Amino acid sequence: MSVRLLVLFLALGLGAPARAAAGAASGSEAPEILVSRGLLRECGLSPGDVVMLSADPHGADARLFRVAGVYEPVPDPARFTAKRLEARMHLPDLLALTADPGEAAAADAVGAINIALKDPADAPAFARELAARAPAMSVVPAAAADDEHFVIIERFHLAISVVTMIGSTAFLLALMVIRADERREVAGLLRLLGLRRRRILAQALLEGLAIASAGAVFGVLFAAATQGAVNAFFQWRYDTTLVFVRVTPAIAARCVALALPLGVMAGLMASWTLLRRPVLDLLRR
Amino acid sequence: MSPLQFAWRSLSRQPARAWLGLTGMAVVGALLFDMLLLSRGLLVSFRDLLESTGFDIRVTATEALPGMGPALSDAASTAERLRGLPELADVVPVRFGSVALDDGDADGGGLRGAKRRGLAIVASEPRRRAEWKVVQGSDLAERGPGGRPEIVVNRAFAREEKVEPGSLVRLGSAPPAREFRVAGIVEFPFEAAGERMAGVTLAGFLDAFPAARRDEADLLLVASRPAVGAEAAVAAIRRARPDLHTFSIEDVLERLRQAEFSYFRQVSVVLATIASFFALLLVTTLLTVSVNQRLGEVAALRALGFSRRRITADLVAESALLVGGGGIVAVPLGLALARALDSILRRMPDLPQRLHFFVFEPRALALHAGFLVLAALLAAAYPVLLAARLPIAATLRKESVS
């Protein structure tokens, strides 16, 4: 069992006087804290500094802490736009800092308890059982809580992709119609030479397949090559290590699986609209 | 024949191509329109939510979001001092908390208990403004019949717990739970879908949270005098209490614009750029091919006395017909698509029910039209260049030989 401490909104009383006072009060005896990379940069801290933390907005009852190190907060997709100004400290230090002296129970109270199960698959059953035994507690499997945001965002992106795909299919069809139209006379000549419609359609199918394959491979390679730039931009913009775009083999396969039939179908449809006409019409006679 | 009529005839000669071009433009245009709605939708919707409360200023102890940072101490005296400012019309302290309802069964009189489910509590003074909207029963009074504290609950809570005005509920952060009389069923502006919420008085809050520190507030809701305006009222509060953090609705929105809502703005910018580029590519391709196939015709027209300007006007009109036709269809299509996309995103947990991602504004329509006009002009640029530089005699000769 581990207890996660999120000390997000403690008022930080930092600055030269605070540090001087801290130094005078022998900062080496102060309890240690870890500060997030964002907080370290925002407040110009460095490991070894002694800082004063207070739960009071005016800095009352501040306590000294020594910055033992810096950590990268676990990226949280639900909060990636927020500045991660956080610190981690030992639970007794946090309770001493925040508990109301007039409330005896506050010295032994925590906001949440994180539990790691031996078998993570047992999480839903464990949550149900614990909730039944301790009705006053809210028990939520961590994976279930996180998944919902991902599912919604994924659905949104999927819907956008479908719309983009419909638009690009219309574009592709228009291109194929133009292309077929340009080869109208060639198709007429081939028909006159004795080639059957099916033979010419097979040729169009192979051509469509080749073009669609080349386009799909180019698209996947382009996405793979640019994913680094997209991630770098968003990671810079939101100061996070979260990965926004990842071209996985499954996604690449899905793209190719969608693009190939679409390309082939567009080629066939465009060719068929041409080939069903009489030969003399194709030759403009 | 006007350039527009001429362009119409050119498009009519290739109906399949024209229809596909229009379809592509309509779909891409719808996506572009939606991204314009998304780029400011959250801000517009959030502004509506904030304004619907009747308070245009928020005062907190720190920059943290209300309820997530240290509370404001000496709330009563602070509120009283601010009420003395001539720029302010109203000041209301607010506290937030959450409880798990008592699991005990009724002990008569319609008393009902909930099972292991949380309830978000908003505490405020008996009100004069619309922090929440009463949909059934009455609003909070300081004390109900029999001296019981009163509570107003939202529809989700009332439905799940089968309570109505006059019912009793027991709640408390620690045993023993206190009985509250349901005064009414209300709608909170920021309630999420399915979220159970309730409102109590500040005194009732202390009944529900006996261990809570007295005389604190997570937030002061302030209404400025209409004649003065929010900015002047914010300045007055900052002068009176520089230690507090005072935000007008504009300040709150600016903060959200910079941080919480920025992802969807970035996504909308990226997708709008892609959609515009796609539209440009589509129309440029169609027009270029069309011109290439009609080089002989263009040369013949030039030989008959059509000026370069006239040919340019014909091509721009053709581009305008494709882009304009698609763009007009894109608006209703985009609105329908926006509704579908909005319903997907609004399923996100903990999101206020009345918050929307895609919000229609006349500004979005104007921008959409502007983008399309630009796309039509840019798309026509290359084909126009081809047609304008066409050597008339050589092209005619080449056409007649071939």
Q: Are both B276 and B393 inside the same structural domain?
A: yes
Q: Are both B218 and B367 inside the same structural domain?
A: no
Q: Are both B13 and B97 inside the same structural domain?
A: no
Q: Are both B42 and B101 inside the same structural domain?
A: no
CB contact under 8 Å between A174 and B20, yes or no, is yes
Cα pseudo-dihedral A8, A13, A18, A19, rounded to 10 = 30
Across the interface, of B20, B70, B116, the residue whose CB is closest to A173 is B20
Residue B368 has pLDDT above 60, yes or no: yes
Q: Are both B194 and B334 inside the same structural domain?
A: no
Q: Are both B40 and B114 inside the same structural domain?
A: no
Is residue B248, in this structure, part of any structural domain at all? no
Domain boundary among B173, B208, B243: B243
Q: Report helix, strand or coil for B186.
A: strand
In angstroms, what separates the C-alpha of A167 from chain B's closest C-alpha?
5
Is residue B193, in this structure, part of any structural domain at all? yes
- Across A107-119, b (16+ Cβ under 10 Å) vs e yields eeeeeeeeeeeee
Q: In sequence order, which residues have a C-beta less than 8 Å from that of residue A266 and are 6 or more positions away? A: A169, A172, A173, A175, A176, A208
pLDDT at A27: 57
Is residue B217, in this structure, part of any structural domain at all? yes
pLDDT tens figures, B61-118: 887 777 677 888 889 999 999 999 999 999 999 999 888 775 544 443 333 433 456 7
Q: Are both B360 and B380 inside the same structural domain?
A: yes
| Region class of A10: left (phi > 0), else alpha (psi between -120 and 50), else beta | beta
Cis peptide before B176 (omega within 30 of 0): yes
Q: How many domains does chain B have?
A: 2
Is residue B149, in this structure, part of any structural domain at all? yes
Is residue B57, in this structure, part of any structural domain at all? no
Q: Residue A277: its chain B contacts at CB < 8 A?
A: none
Q: Which helix (H) or strand (E) element contains residue A36?
A: strand A32-36
pLDDT at B198: 92
Q: State which amino acid sits at residue A251.
A: I
Q: Are both B288 and B308 inside the same structural domain?
A: yes
Is residue B195, in this structure, part of any structural domain at all? yes
Residue B139 has pLDDT above 70, yes or no: yes
Domain boundary among B212, B243, B274: B243
Q: Does B193 touch chain A (CB under 8 A)?
A: no
Q: Are both B146 and B272 inside the same structural domain?
A: no
Residue A17 has pLDDT above 60, yes or no: no
* Average pLDDT over chain A, rounded to an integer: 78
Is residue B374, in this structure, part of any structural domain at all? yes
Q: Are both B18 and B103 inside the same structural domain?
A: no
Q: Are both B154 and B189 inside the same structural domain?
A: yes
Most confident by average pLDDT, A124-133, A189-198, B197-206? B197-206
Domain boundary among B217, B243, B269: B243
Q: Are both B113 and B203 inside the same structural domain?
A: yes
Q: Which domain holds residue B40?
A: 3-50+260-401
Is residue B56, in this structure, part of any structural domain at all? no
Residue A104 has pLDDT above 60, yes or no: yes
Nearest CA in chain B to A133: B116
CB contact under 8 Å between B20 and A177, yes or no, is yes
Mutation target vs B (from A177, A185, A233; most B CBs, 10 A cutoff): A177
Instruction: Tell me what ipTM this predicted complex has.
Output: 0.70
